[in-house]
């Protein structure tokens, strides 16, 4: 990360890439050093507010809706009746906000270890936190790994892992042991979703190993969904969907078309298209 002439730049040394955002001014809106990480908030000139954690872009006001909608709606419109949802991570509450748009959901538990991410989101990204006080929402500031390990079997219909990259503290969210416990706590027909990085540069070292670990953990089927996200490395991102004990079923396109809430990216055409992957990806993951 560097700041130069009012530009915030995140550098990805391993991939030879960098991404920059112009700041409205050099002063930070907020900064917190917690026992877990270093959080900064900036005002950009064109992308609204910017949250940075440990020097990495976490979200911007302008494009976070793509990520949050794709982490939630494909799974929730595929599951026939998602009533109980677990979110691991997701402290900015954008994923929770999208989950609670679904009337079938009776309980959504969000487990993030760092309360300050949520408090700063409430202050600087209030649009992501409009459902934090929904009676169906539970915010737990706890260790997500421990939560999943201790949860009773067949507790949830959908589990969403809105995690950081698989390095440092986030690495344990990509292990066989974590996937085994995730499979165990899903109800029959339950769906698991995890962000899975960029297909362009992470297919071989992250997405393919994830697929193999999911199958070894007992998941019956998996599917990678891709979408654009310009503020993340390469501008091309993905999440991977897995089903506990059966093939991933077709999504309910009629329910999508008749949804009683607004989305800004997701729709039935996007859902049909997002699982289409290029040849290099198909060959690499066979």
Summarised one tens digit per residue, pLDDT across range 99-140 is 999 999 999 999 999 999 999 999 999 999 999 999 999 999
Strands 30-33 and 236-243 turn out to be unpaired
pLDDT of residue 286: 86
Residue after which a domain boundary falls, among 22, 45, 60: 60
Residues 108 and 11 in one domain: no
d(CA 76, CA 226): 17
Residues 24 and 70 in one domain: no
Catalytic residue among 112, 162, 221, 245: 162
Token look-up 């503290």 returns 169
pLDDT of residue 163: 84
Question: Looking at the predicted structure, is the pLDDT value of residue 1 above 80?
Answer: no
CATH of the domain at 46: 2.30.140.10
Q: How confident is the model over 137-144, as a mean pLDDT?
A: 97
d(CA 47, CA 59): 10
Residues 76 and 54 in one domain: no
Q: What is the 3-state secondary structure (H, E, C) of 81-134?
A: CCCEEEEEECCCCHHHHHHCCCCCCCEEEEECCCHHHHHHHHHHCHHHCCCCCC
Strands 30-33 and 38-43 turn out to be antiparallel
For residue 221, indicate whether it is catalytic: no
Residue 50 confidence class, pLDDT cut points 50, 70, 90: very high
Q: How confident is the model over 183-209, as a mean pLDDT?
A: 96
Domain span including residue 82: 64-284
Cβ atoms of residues 241 and 191 within 8 Å: yes
């Amino acid at each position: 990360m560097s700041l130069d002439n009012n530009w915030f730049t995140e550098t990805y040394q391993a991939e030879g890439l960098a991404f920059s955002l112009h700041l409205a001014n050099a002063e930070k809106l907020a900064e917190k050093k917690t026992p877990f990480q270093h959080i900064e908030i900036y005002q950009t000139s064109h992308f609204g507010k910017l949250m940075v954690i440990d020097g990495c872009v976490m979200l911007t006001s302008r494009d976070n809706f793509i990520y949050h909608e794709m982490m939630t709606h494909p799974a929730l419109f595929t599951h026939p009746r998602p009533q109980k949802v677990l979110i691991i991570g997701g402290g900015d509450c954008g994923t929770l906000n999208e989950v609670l748009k679904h009337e079938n959901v009776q309980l959504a538990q969000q487990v993030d270890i760092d309360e300050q991410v949520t408090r700063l989101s409430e202050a600087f990204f209030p649009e992501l936190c409009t459902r934090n006080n929904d009676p169906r929402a539970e915010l737990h500031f706890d260790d997500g790994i421990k939560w999943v390990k201790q949860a009773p079997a067949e507790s949830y219909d959908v589990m969403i892992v809105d995690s950081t990259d698989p390095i440092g503290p986030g690495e344990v969210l990509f292990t066989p042991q974590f996937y085994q416990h995730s499979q165990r706590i899903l109800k029959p027909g339950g769906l698991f979703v995890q962000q899975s990085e960029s297909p362009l540069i992470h297919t071989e070292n992250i997405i393919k190993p994830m697929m193999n670990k999911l199958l070894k953990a007992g998941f019956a089927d998996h599917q990678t969904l891709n979408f654009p996200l310009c503020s993340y490395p390469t501008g091309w991102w993905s999440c991977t969907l897995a089903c506990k004990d059966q093939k991933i079923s077709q999504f309910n396109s009629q329910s999508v078309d008749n949804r009683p809430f607004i989305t800004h990216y997701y729709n039935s055409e996007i859902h049909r298209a997002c699982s289409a992957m290029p040849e290099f990806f198909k060959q690499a993951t066979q």
